[in-house]
């Protein structure tokens, strides 16, 4: 197998970001074929421990979660979570999460290579596609399997072989 690393989403919050304290706002994404969500870039307004979770969407069932100490400013958190086809949310749990979001003026979807896409956020109404929430520069790994080998020339001789000829040769028996 060959492991390909792909990136998606906004690359970083840049300098034009807003403070996001509400944990109920987070990105929603679709997975078209299996991948591993290796890591994401975050920008914290204050240092502290954060609980990050992968949830089914819209059901809200937590499928994976882990706690991370995130320093103030930009940093990368390593998730290493396997994602199978479906719709998901990537969120933080808690009260004031102290992260960032950007006004993106309806520029969704954000492709995750050719295996998925960040499609919107949980912000209501027109806000669902007006903001990019919390997690930037998604790094995913895709395993590609190929069975291709070197090409080899094969010579084939085609001739007429009838059933009677094959029976005479002892190669085929009819019952």
pLDDT digits 0-9 by tens, 41-97 = 999 999 999 999 999 999 999 999 999 999 999 999 999 999 999 999 999 999 889
- Whether omega for the bond prior to residue 106 falls within 30 degrees of 0, making it cis, is no
Q: Using alpha carbons, list the distances in angstroms from residue 149 to 88, 146, 152.
A: 37, 9, 9
Taking the whole predicted model, whether its pTM rises above 0.85 is answered as: no
Longest Cα pair distance anywhere in the chain, in angstroms? 88
Say if residue 45 is exposed, middle or buried (CB neighbours under 10 Å; 0-12, 13-18, 19+).
middle
- Whether omega for the bond prior to residue 148 falls within 30 degrees of 0, making it cis, is no
More confidently predicted of 162 and 76: 76
Whole-number pLDDT of residue 27: 95
pLDDT digits 0-9 by tens, 115-146 = 999 999 999 888 889 889 999 999 999 987 77
Q: CA 32 to CA 14: how far, in whole Å?
A: 29
């Amino acid at each position: 197998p060959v492991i390909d690393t792909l990136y998606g989403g906004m690359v970083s919050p840049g300098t034009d970001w807003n403070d996001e304290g509400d944990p109920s706002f987070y990105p929603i994404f679709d997975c078209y074929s299996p991948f591993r969500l290796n890591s994401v870039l975050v920008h914290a307004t204050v240092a502290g421990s954060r609980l990050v979770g992968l949830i089914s969407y819209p059901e809200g069932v937590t499928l994976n979660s882990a706690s991370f100490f995130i320093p103030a400013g930009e940093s990368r958190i390593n998730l290493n979570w396997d994602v199978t086809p479906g719709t998901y949310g990537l969120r933080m749990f808690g009260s004031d999460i102290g992260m960032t979001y950007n006004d993106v003026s309806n520029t969704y979807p954000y492709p995750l290579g050719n295996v998925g896409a960040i499609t919107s956020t949980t912000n209501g109404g027109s806000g669902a596609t007006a903001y990019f929430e919390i997690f930037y520069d998604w790094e995913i790994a895709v395993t590609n399997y190929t069975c291709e080998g070197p090409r080899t020339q094969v010579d084939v001789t085609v001739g007429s072989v009838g059933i009677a000829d094959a029976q005479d040769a002892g190669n085929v028996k009819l019952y």
